[in-house]
Amino acid sequence: MIIGVSACLLGENCKYNGGNNESKKLKDYVKGHTVVPVCPEVMGGLPTPRDPAEIIGGVVRQKSGCSVDAEFRKGARAALKKVKDAGAELAILQSRSPSCGVKEIYDGSFTGHLVKGKGVFAAMLEEEGIRAMDVEDL
Ligand code: SF4
């Protein structure tokens, strides 16, 4: 199977704070499959490290209030194209990210509160009919 994967889960240091979310469980799960790594935020032209962002009223903003919505959407479109062009049927994504979150995201208050919802990239995958799975559900 061809599987799109949040690049930070594979150990790539593309997380907002310059680190990663390497997951042994994910790496074991995708063994024998073709993996297509994507980081929508980096693909949207954002630097690493970068200020954390949350979705507020449908717009992705940094804590300062500065909108990074255009970069998030540009990167999500590029990541979607990459996984679609590769023929991926499934994507396994990092939890709670404003790009990659599949089930829950932070509520926009930057206080750690979660709400049901999807990140920008996860929502685009769903619209395209590509199944997205939260890495914590492996
Ligand atoms: S955008 Fe997705 S792949 Fe990139 S660091 Fe955030 S969770 Fe990981």
Distance 67 CA to ligand 1 centre (A): 18
Exposed, middle or buried by CB within 10 Å (0-12, 13-18, 19+), for 64?
Answer: exposed
- Quote the Cα angle for 128-74-66, to 5°: 125
- The pLDDT assigned to 91 comes to 98
Cα 76 to middle of ligand 1, angstroms: 10
pLDDT tens digit sequence for 66-111: 999 999 999 999 999 999 999 999 999 999 999 999 999 999 999 9
Q: How far is the CA of 22 from the centre of ligand 1 (A)?
A: 11
Q: Give the CA dihedral 114, 54, 47, 95, nearest 10 degrees.
A: 20
Query: Do the beta carbons of residue 86 and residue 93 sit within 8 Å?
Result: no
Give pTM, 2 decimals: 0.97
Q: Does ligand 1 come within 6 angstroms of the Cβ of 100?
A: yes
Starting from the edge strand earliest in sequence, which strands make up the sheet with 2-6, in order? 34-38, 2-6, 90-93, 131-134
Query: Under 8 Å CB-to-CB from 67, ≥6 apart: which residues?
Result: 59, 60, 61
pLDDT at 98: 98
- Atom 5 of ligand 1, nearest CA residue: 15
Taking only the tens place, the pLDDT of each residue in 13-45 is 999 999 999 999 999 999 999 999 999 999 999
Residue with the nearest Cα to atom 4 of ligand 1? 39
Does any ligand 1 atom lie closer than 6 A to the CB of residue 83?
A: no
Ligand 1 pocket residue status of 23, Cβ below 6 Å = no
